[in-house]
Amino acid sequence: MLTALAPGLGAAPALCRAAATASLVRWLSTAASNGNKLQVVLEPLDGHNEGIFFLSLSRPEARNSIGRQFLRELKECLYTVSQERTTRCVVVRSTVPGVFCAGADLKERAVMSQAETAQFVRELREAFNQLDALPMPTVAVVDGFALGGGAELALACDVRVAGRDAQFAFPETRLGIIPGAGGTQRLPRIVGTSRAKELIFTGRRIDMHDAVKMGLADHAADETGAEDVALNLARDIARGGPLALRLAKQAISLGGELDLNSGLKLEEACYAQVIPTKDRQEGLAAFAEKRQPKFTGE
């Protein structure tokens, strides 16, 4: 029943960890041989962070603004990690101090034709939809400015951690435009319609405390670094089985668009897919033996 909703989730996704890593290595090598400095980087962690990926925004000279190269690399990273069978969580962070993402690259945008602008915004919306639809949970680390498209990027993640320097804003109306990469749709679903209207109409900035108060952010990292808080959360998430996490995310995300009875049927269909898995058997065995389970995503 659920196959039509999530093709491939009943079995492992097409590429195993080794294949996905090999794909990533080939992509990094190609970029390096072309003399390009990567603006978005995907990095698998290991040790006690096994099962977690960093997706790092690294364009310091432009405050992580989103241009053509940035968008292309973001889509490559999202495609690569989406194929990874055993990933439990993706942490989206910035390596640039004081900024998460400053939004669109307005210098590039200024020389685009109307048709090119429309196409770029369409591709940006598709990329954020791609992030939203990643099968595994995602955590955004916002410690600095998340403006316009940068705030929309954070909204496309499942959970947001705000640092002490976090500043969220949707300033598009002050530029004569509107949020075009999901902001008018995701923001009201997260903070409520009237609050979203206020934020988009005024373009005012929201700090860490207000972001948490209104639900725009889920965690405030006021005494610990935001990345540390996000990693602790990711480790808690990574204790779950990869298939269970993916099906739980799907049940919640899709169920939120359904009436209760239809949502319960969706939950039943999702649960049916975990019953025959090796991970479920491993979870039961680990509980009986009072040890940590070793999930394989099968």
Residues recognised as catalytic: 104, 149, 152, 172
274, 242 contact by CB (below 8 A): no
Maximum alpha-carbon separation in the chain: 64
* C-alpha span between 250 and 263 (Å, rounded): 11
Amino acid in position 90: V
Ramachandran area for residue 73 (φ above 0: left; ψ -120 to 50: alpha; else beta)? alpha
Ramachandran area for residue 230 (φ above 0: left; ψ -120 to 50: alpha; else beta)? alpha
Q: Which two tokens stand for residue 274?
A: 């975990």
298, 12 contact by CB (below 8 A): yes
Sheet holding 89-94, edge to edge: 40-44, 52-57, 89-94, 138-142, 159-163, 219-221
Q: Which two tokens stand for residue 193?
A: 């319609």
Query: What residues form DSSP beta bridges with 52?
Result: 89
Burial group, residue 21, by CB count within 10 angstroms (0-12, 13-18, 19+): middle
* C-alpha span between 284 and 73 (Å, rounded): 40
How many Å is the Cα radius of gyration of the chain? 19
48, 10 contact by CB (below 8 A): no
Nearest to 166 by CA among 114, 223, 207: 207
How many CA atoms lie within 13 Å of 156's alpha carbon, on the beta-carbon side?
Answer: 26
